[in-house]
Amino acid sequence: MTLAVFFGCTFIAFGPAFSLFLFTIARDPLRIIILIAGAFFWLVSLLLSSLIWFIAVKASDPRDEPLQKGLLIFGVMFSVLLQEAFRFLYYKLLRKAIEGLVALSEDGCSPISIQQMAYVAGVGFGLMSGAFSMINLLADALGPGTVGIHGDSQLYFLTSAFMTMVLIFLHTFWGILFFHGCENRHWWEIVAVVVMHLAVSGSTFCNPLYVGSLVPSYVLMAIAAVWAYMLSGGSVQNLRRFLLCAQSGASPQPAS
38 and 121 Cβ atoms separated by less than 8 Å: yes
Examine residue 11 and tell whether it contacts another protein (CB under 8 A).
yes
* Window 42-81: contact mask with another protein (x via CB under 8 A): ----x---------------------xx--x--xx--x--
Q: Which helix (DSSP H) or strand (DSSP E) does residue 51 occupy? A: helix 29-59
Nearest in space to 20 (alpha carbons), one of 35, 5, 41:
35
Minimum distance from CB of 7 to another protein (Å)? 6
Near another protein by CB under 8 A, which window of 28-36, 172-180, 185-193, 244-252?
244-252
225 and 122 Cβ atoms separated by less than 8 Å: no
Examine residue 172 and tell whether it contacts another protein (CB under 8 A).
no
Examine residue 137 and tell whether it contacts another protein (CB under 8 A).
yes
Q: Count CB-CB contacts under 10 A for residue 96.
A: 10
Q: How far apart are CA 57 and CA 76, in angstroms?
A: 13
Cis peptide leading into residue 66 (ω within 30°): no
Max Cα-Cα span within the chain: 66
Site for another protein in 142-161 (CB under 8 A): 143-150, 152, 154, 156-158, 160-161
Residue whose CB is less far from another protein, 37 or 155:
155
Near another protein by CB under 8 A, which window of 33-41, 84-92, 185-193, 246-254?
246-254
Minimum distance from CB of 201 to another protein (Å)? 5
Minimum distance from CB of 159 to another protein (Å)? 9
